[in-house]
């Protein structure tokens, strides 16, 4: 949620900030703004709406230092006044902030009593006022920022500048923030794509780090301002990979990349996987913890672990994990799965696990993320940057890594790679232009429907859940997923003439699933079958050859394409669905 970028260097800051904000817009936002500093004054611009459809006059801005922000409203409505950056009353301090300040009302009342005037409804605005308050009492800018941050309760990623010098201060607690190291220029951002075209050298800030950025980057601990050592890492992501290229949207581009990303996900260190498998085998209780699409990947993996490794896995939504804390002990293993590694509910679940002494393994896509740093072991998805808000290639990458783990647990890691080889070869065909055009015909049939149901049994059940999520996330058509045998226990009352039902089928459950489909067909449903074999009961059929335990990877591909096509036909932005954010960093 929200996006931050800060710049200090040798170039004019405004264009770098503006272009950086565009690259962060995938995180979700409803307003945006930027601020530069030159000759002891700020130049500020704020707006509501789509930054990619707007131009700014760079001549309005001056200075080699500045900050920018894309806002996803939490405290206060969507308005220019509530957009960041926020300034102090004297317009001498400017701040951008992600997170939630839990004690902002108390701080605001205190500051008002001291004569401060507020212009917004946000929790963020207390920060520049607090900084100015300490500066008025004699503190220099850095000390004032530190003093203000120590007063904040809750989560934050903050970047602050002032008009009196060219120092930029960045700090985080519970929200992501990374520093980019260029050629005599420096960046601070909530995500690497904001500055990836300028540098691949980064410093990942830890919770309660304070980075002072002027002629270099100096990192200190917030509590005592003692220097801390943070390594400069090199990012392997390709700049071109983060651009749309010939595709109209990132979502379609990332769908078509999956043959490659599944293969990359399978390129794990075999010995490391075997060591982690030993941890799983020796654990007394294993929990998969995740949210959204990652949760569906974990649910699929629980079926695979049951069939391949003959092992029971507990699968829990991260937001509900606290309710399971009494089952945890120092021999429990918690496997947390997150694309960004910054999902607040997942981080809270990991904190709960560590309080009980449990070991934590994470599966993430973003190097240096909070989840990675809070885990005992980490496996990377290797999917590269995923810009679309919806998870497509990272979902199948998660499935690939989890499938490999299941095989590693029975010392058949190489068999797992063989299963994935079959999948990634098939995915190449499933994402071809001819397949996409065939699914577009189905989208033309479904584009005006109000409801779509998805069903499956066994491994196909989590796929049905993920399919429903994809459709409603991006097209805003109400979609609901069911275990195939459950629809008749109440929800079949919703089936009427031409109600679309998508049925995922495999040879292992074909007879039972087709029986359920016949019940729906008898009540007028329009049946779309997805599986290896056509059936006369289907009104529309999408052939997906059987791949055994890779079915969850291959069978979701047509639905990702269908969801994309529905969004385009319904004039929805596939890359930035309304009300959604790439990283949900608040609980």
Within 8 A by CB and 6+ apart from 55, the residues are: none
**SS3 sequence, 274-323?**
HHHHHHHHHCCCEEEEECHHHHHHHHHHHHHHHHHHCCCCEEEEHHHHHH
What are the φ and ψ backbone dihedral angles of 453, each rounded to 5 degrees? Answer: -110, 145
DSSP 94: E
Contact indicator for 87, 132 with CB cutoff of 8 Å? no
366, β-bridge pairs: none
* 88 three-state secondary structure: coil
Contact indicator for 431, 259 with CB cutoff of 8 Å? yes
Within 8 A by CB and 6+ apart from 240, the residues are: none
Contact indicator for 207, 174 with CB cutoff of 8 Å? yes
Q: Which pair of tokens denotes residue 129?
A: 């006022």
- Residues with a catalytic annotation lie at 2, 582
404-408: long-range contacts, CB 8 A cutoff, minimum separation 24: 404/266, 404/268, 404/273, 405/273, 405/276, 405/277, 405/280, 405/301, 405/305, 405/379, 406/301, 406/304, 406/305, 406/308, 406/309, 406/311, 406/549, 407/308, 407/309, 408/273, 408/274, 408/276, 408/277
DSSP 156-220: EEEEEEESSSS-EEEEEEBS--EEEE-SS-EEEESSGGGTTTT--EEEEPPTTEEEEESSSEEEE
Report how far residue 92's alpha carbon sits from residue 312's, in angstroms, rounded to the nearest whole number: 59
User: Which helix (H) or strand (E) covers residue 557, if one does?
Assistant: helix 551-569
Within 8 A by CB and 6+ apart from 195, the residues are: 5, 7, 16, 20, 180, 182, 187, 189
Residue closest to 146 by CA, chosen among 167, 130, 123, 162: 130
């Amino acid at each position: 949620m929200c996006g931050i970028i800060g710049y200090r260097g040798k170039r004019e800051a405004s264009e770098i900030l503006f272009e950086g904000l565009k690259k962060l817009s995938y995180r979700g936002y409803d307003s945006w703004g930027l601020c530069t500093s030159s000759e002891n004054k700020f130049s500020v611009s704020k707006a509501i709406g789509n930054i990619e459809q707007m131009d700014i006059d760079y001549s309005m801005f001056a200075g080699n230092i500045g900050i920018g922000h894309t806002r996803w409203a939490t405290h206060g409505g969507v308005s220019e006044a509530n957009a960041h950056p926020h300034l102090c009353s004297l317009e001498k301090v400017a701040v951008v902030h992600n997170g939630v300040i839990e004690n902002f009302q108390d701080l605001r009342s205190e500051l008002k009593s001291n004569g401060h005037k507020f212009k917004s409804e946000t929790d963020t605005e207390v920060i520049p006022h607090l900084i100015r308050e300490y500066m008025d009492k004699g503190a220099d800018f850095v000390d004032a920022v530190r003093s203000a941050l120590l007063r904040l309760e809750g989560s934050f990623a903050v970047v602050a500048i002032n008009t009196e010098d060219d120092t930029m201060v960045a700090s985080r607690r519970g929200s992501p923030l990374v520093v980019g190291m260029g050629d005599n220029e420096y960046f601070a951002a909530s995500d690497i794509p904001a500055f990836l075209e300028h540098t691949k050298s980064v410093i990942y800030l830890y919770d309660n780090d304070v980075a002072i950025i002027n002629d270099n980057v100096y990192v200190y601990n917030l509590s005592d301002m003692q220097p801390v050592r943070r390594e400069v890492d090199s990012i392997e992501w390709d700049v071109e990979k983060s651009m749309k290229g010939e595709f109209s949207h990132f979502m379609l581009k990332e769908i078509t990349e999956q043959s490659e990303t599944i293969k990359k996900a399978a390129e794990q260190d075999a010995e490391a996987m075997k060591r982690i498998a030993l941890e799983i085998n020796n654990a007394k209780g294993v929990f998969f913890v995740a949210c959204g699409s990652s949760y569906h990947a974990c649910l699929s993996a629980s079926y695979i672990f049951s069939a391949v490794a003959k092992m029971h896995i507990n699968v829990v939504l991260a937001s509900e994990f606290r309710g399971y804390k009494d089952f945890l002990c120092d021999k429990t293993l918690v496997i947390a799965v997150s694309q960004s590694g910054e999902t607040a509910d997942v981080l809270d679940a990991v904190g709960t696990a560590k309080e009980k002494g449990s070991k934590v393994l994470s599966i993430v896509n973003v190097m240096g993320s909070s989840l990675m740093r809070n885990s005992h072991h980490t496996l990377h998805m290797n999917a590269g940057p995923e810009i679309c808000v919806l998870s497509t290639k990272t979902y199948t990458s998660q499935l690939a890594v989890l499938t490999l783990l299941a095989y590693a647990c029975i010392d058949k890691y190489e068999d797992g790679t063989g299963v994935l080889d079959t999948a990634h070869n098939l995915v190449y065909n499933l994402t071809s232009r001819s397949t996409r055009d065939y699914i577009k015909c189905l989208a033309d049939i479904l584009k005006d429907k109000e409801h779509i149901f998805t069903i499956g049994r066994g491994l196909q059940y989590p796929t049905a859940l993920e399919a429903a999520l994809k459709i409603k996330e991006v097209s805003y058509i109400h979609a609901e997923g069911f275990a195939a045998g459950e629809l008749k226990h109440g929800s079949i009352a919703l089936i009427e003439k031409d109600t679309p039902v998508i049925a995922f089928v495999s040879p292992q459950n074909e007879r039972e699933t087709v029986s359920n489909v016949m019940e729906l067909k008898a009540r007028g449903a329009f049946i779309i079958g997805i599986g290896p074999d056509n059936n006369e009961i289907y009104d529309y059929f999408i052939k997906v050859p059987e791949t055994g335990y890779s079915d969850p990877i291959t069978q979701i591909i047509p639905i990702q394409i269908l969801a994309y096509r529905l969004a385009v036909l319904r004039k929805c932005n596939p890359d930035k669905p309304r009300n959604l954010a790439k990283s949900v960093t608040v609980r």
